[in-house]
C-alpha cells in the first residue's frame, strides 16, 4: 500500500486570482503589469491552474491588493500541505 500523496490541485488559487483581477476591473495584461510582470503569460497559466505561484508572487498580491495570504492559499493548505511546525 502506497503512502505517497498526490499534489493538491492549484486550480482554486487560479480561480481566486481571476476573481480578484476581475473585481479590480483589470485585464490580464493590466494585472500582470501591476505586479511587475511585462507579459501576462505567467499569470494566465496561474489562472488556468497550469503553474503554481511563487511565494514572492503570493506576498506581492497580498500587499498590493490587501488580501491575506491565507485567503489566497487556504484551500491549498487544507488539501494537504502540512503547516510548518515551530
Whether the pTM exceeds 0.75: the reply is no
CATH fold group of domain 11-78:
434 Repressor (Amino-terminal Domain) (1.10.260)
- What 3-state DSSP class applies to 49? coil
Residue-range domain boundaries for the chain: 11-78
Q: Rounded to an integer, what distance in angstroms lies between the CA atom of residue 58 and that of residue 49?
A: 15
Per-residue model confidence as pLDDT tens digits over 1-55: 544 443 444 678 999 999 999 999 999 999 999 999 888 899 999 999 999 999 9
Task: At 16, list the grid cell.
Answer: 481566486
Amino acid at each position: 500500500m502506497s503512502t505517497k500523496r498526490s499534489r493538491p490541485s492549484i486550480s482554486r488559487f487560479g480561480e481566486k486570482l481571476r476573481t480578484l483581477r476581475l473585481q479590480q476591473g483589470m485585464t490580464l495584461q493590466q494585472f500582470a503589469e501591476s505586479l511587475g510582470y511585462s507579459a501576462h503569460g505567467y499569470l494566465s497559466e496561474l489562472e488556468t491552474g497550469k503553474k503554481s505561484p511563487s511565494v514572492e508572487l503570493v506576498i506581492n498580491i497580498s500587499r498590493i491588493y490587501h488580501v491575506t495570504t491565507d485567503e489566497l492559499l487556504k484551500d491549498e493548505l487544507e488539501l494537504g500541505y502540512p503547516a510548518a511546525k515551530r
